[in-house]
Amino acid sequence: MKVGFIGLGAMGSAMASNLVAAGHAVTVWNRSEAATAPLASLGAKVARTPERAAQGEVLCSMLANDAAVRAVFLDSGLLDAMDPGTVHVNHATISVALARELADAHARRGIGYVAAPVFGRPDMAAAAKLNIVAAGKAAAIDTVRPLLQAMGSRIWPMGEAPERASVTKIAGNFMLATAIESMAEATALTRAYGVSAADFLEVMTSTLFASPAYQGYGKLIAEQRFKPAGFPLPLGFKDVGLAQAAAESARVPLPFAGVLRDSLLEALAGGDEDVDWSALALVAARRAHLDDRGDA
């Protein structure tokens, strides 16, 4: 299949690489051209403009946030340059409001739109083991299914309304953030009594919380391994904000979202810009003055 791919961060690069490996004819574009070099070495074509990347049957995109998606697809006129019948697969985690706006904008131009955000970190993307949440018209999803299968281990259908996939991703990230915050606070408590984060989390993630989310992030917290960031803390802050906005729109109280937002904001205020969001553990430790005590 002739495919375009826009957005070559850690996730996008891995996903596009798997499309190339699966035998698809992939053309890539990225705002920073340096990021296209590894894909070019694998056999992908490099487009000089987004419009040139959108000449295939399908255009995939993995951009950072609402502002980037809006700038590339709506403000730049890219949708107007795409041929009717093309399908756009948006893998970004975006707001419910923008998901609805994009669906309408695509429909007016006769362009298919599939919201397909993913669960998984860059290592899972590289291994083609992402869980992909997909929503859109059945025909559009059928068209892009071979691409989704090349990038993930399972596709989770969420119906035709694209915002359903977006809110599923937002809610899932909200749950991950709560797991990280609970481990951050709990390890601060145990450390205050001389029990190391590693010892405590080994018990918890081997028994009561023996699940991938707790085990993966628990290991990062135990090892204080917050760089390189698999999921940068600013993106976590963004996603909790998306959860709050979606909740407000539907009048769904999310009391704990405010706690998470403040913890993430505190981390950002402390200069933690380029760390993984599991670095919420540093915030909990600072609040308890554990570093001052020199505890484990």
Nearest alpha-carbon partner for 58 in 81, 85, 39, 78:
85
HSE (CB half, 13 Å, CA atoms) of 21?
Answer: 13
Greatest extent of the chain over all pairs of C-alpha atoms, in Å = 64
Strand runs (DSSP E) across the chain, as ranges? 2-6, 25-29, 45-46, 58-61, 87-90, 112-115, 118-119, 130-136, 152-157
> Which of the following is catalytic: 169, 219, 227, 238?
169
b/e code 188-222 from CB counts within 10 Å (16+ = b):
bebbeeeeebeebbeebbeeebeeebbebbbebbb
- Residue 296's identity, in one-letter code, is A
Contact present, 148 and 134 (Cβ < 8 Å): yes
Contact present, 8 and 33 (Cβ < 8 Å): no
Alpha-carbon distance of 15 to 19, in angstroms, equals: 7
| Residue 169: active-site member | yes
Give the residue numbers marked as catalytic. 169
